[in-house]
Structure 1
Amino acid sequence: MAVIRLDKITGGHLESIRHTAVLKNGHFVQLGALISDETELYSVEVATDAADLKKEFLLHATPEVMADPRFAGLKHFQVEAGDQGRAYHLVKGDVITLTADLIDGTPVVDQFVVPQLNSLKLEASPDGLQGSDETSLVFVVVRKTTLGYDGDDAYQLRVIKS
């Protein structure tokens, strides 16, 4: 399903990205190397160890433009492997809403969600840590809501650490 809403986001700092796998809006990535012969297109990486959790995480949110009407709708949108997407640098105070399938575990209002190792999704966290490790990005869960035509469960999140 993977539907997001950029509620209150500065949006002033964007990056063009390319991944070797499918990207859905609401995935969290880290910038890799500048792609050869490009000036502003970066590969993306996934955090694989505790040291990576200290690096900056960016929110993938590419405008949902779909040429094939059979797949029209936010929940069908994805950026295919090797295609170009867009990622946002987040700052403290930004607010986004993500459908529940983009978060592992069950978020609780006034608790936290954080990036996790070996995944593009966030993870519910009662203490704002990923396991026992601090992360460079922490959201507080503001409220439970719904998103999309089908009214899928979603959570509004506010950046409290970036």
Structure 2
Amino acid sequence: MYVRLDKIKSTAHLESIIADVDLVNGQFVALGALEADGEARKVTPSGDVTKKLVFHASVPLTYWERQNELDFVLEKGKVGRGFVLEEGDIISIEKKGVSGALAKGALVVPDANGFKVGTPAGLHGEIIAIDKDMYAGELAVIRISTK
């Protein structure tokens, strides 16, 4: 899934993450135990805001010419990166990463597959714009709130 990190601090807190399942960018994952390497954390896809969630956005670097950023999948067992989202962060995510009616002003909450339109109870976002990308199509531009 295509994700654009529009306004994330250069000093944003990152977690190295590893999962037992394939992950796509834009998923929320719950942090688990520290791995034996002392850096990566075991994660599972989750939208439960009572858990320590991070936003999966690994660098979709590939040397295979037939794969592009829209098709990127972090394979199970590989180390990726998760962002600890903060108040005021702005991210854009492909339309398929938001379940429910995509509309400016809609409130969205974390979901194991991205976001879903819903009633906030902690970490959430507001769709502040619907953008168009030549390759990814419609994008939901989301401003994060932690209150």
**TM-score, normalization by structure 2:** 0.90
Residue in 1 aligned with 2:116?
Answer: 123
Shift of residue 151 of structure 1?
4.5
2:46 corresponds to 1:61: no
Question: What is the percent sequence identity of the aligned residues?
Answer: 28
CA contact (8 A) 2:2 2:136 kept: no
Matched residue SS, 2:66:
helix
Bigger fraction of residues in helix: 1
1 or 2, which has the higher strand percentage? 2
Could you give the per-residue CA deviations for residues 30-86 of structure 1, whole angstroms, max 9, x where no partner exists?
111111x211111002338xxx42223211111111021111x21011111111100
Give the equivalent residue in structure 2 for 1:146.
132
Secondary structure class of the residue paired with 1:69: coil
Q: Which runs of 4+ in 1 moved over 3 A?
A: none
Q: Secondary structure at the match of 1:75?
A: helix
TM-score, normalised to structure 1's length?
0.83
Q: Any gaps of 5 or more consecutive residues in structure 2?
A: none
Is residue 44 of structure 2 the alignment partner of residue 45 of structure 1?
yes
Q: Residue 3 of structure 2 contacts residue 26 of structure 2 at CA under 8 Å; is this kept in 1?
A: yes
d(CA) in 2 for partners of 1:13, 1:151: 27
**Which residues in structure 2 correspond to 1:1-162 (within 5 Å)?**
2-11=1-10, 12-35=12-35, 37-47=36-46, 52-71=48-67, 73-116=68-111, 119-125=112-118, 128-129=119-120, 134=121, 136-147=122-133, 149-161=134-146
* Structure 1: runs of 5+ lacking an equivalent: none
